[in-house]
Amino acid sequence: MARITLKEFFSLREMFMGQDEDFELALENYKNLNFDDRDILDLLFIKSMLFDKRVRFHKAISKTYTTEELVGKNINSAVKSVADYVVYQKILLKILYPQK
């Protein structure tokens, strides 16, 4: 199992937000890379995506999240409860405050 880096996360996210072929390729890469803490990564990817891409990702991973679970403070709590891994905090901050 591997840990994701900030660069890997946002590279995959960019592919997920691209054309249909890019989305499918990103999804296969994501499934095959076998990252640690997949539940937190699923949550972070869903939080970072918009509209139809979010819906497609939801269906592809066969999970559903409530609106409450997608609130930034709740994701932050989930990150802290699973592992105190700094990159997840950095990813969340970059999702919530993209200009910084």
Q: What is the pLDDT of residue 83?
A: 63
pLDDT digits (tens, 9 = 90+) for 33-48: 988 889 999 999 999 9
- 49-70 as b/e, with b when 16 or more CB fall inside 10 Å? beeebbebbbebbeeeeeeeee
What is the total count of domains within the chain?
A: 1
Share of the chain above pLDDT 70, in %: 96
Q: Is residue 1 part of a domain?
A: no
Q: Is residue 92 part of a domain?
A: yes
Q: Is residue 87 part of a domain?
A: yes
Question: How many angstroms separate the CA atoms of 52 and 58, rounded?
Answer: 10
The mean pLDDT of 50-56, rounded to a whole number, is 92
Q: Is residue 45 part of a domain?
A: yes
Question: How many angstroms separate the CA atoms of 58 and 6, rounded?
Answer: 21
Q: Tokens 């592809």 — which residue?
A: 60
73 pLDDT exceeds 90? no
Which region, left, alpha or beta, applies to residue 29 given φ > 0 means left and ψ of -120 to 50 means alpha?
A: alpha
Q: Tokens 């249909």 — which residue?
A: 20
Q: Is residue 60 part of a domain?
A: yes
Domain that holds residue 53: 6-96
7 pLDDT exceeds 70? yes
Q: What is the pLDDT of residue 100?
A: 61
82 pLDDT exceeds 70? yes
Q: 35 phi and psi, to 5 degrees?
A: -75, 150
Q: Is residue 56 part of a domain?
A: yes
Question: How many angstroms separate the CA atoms of 57 and 26, rounded?
Answer: 10
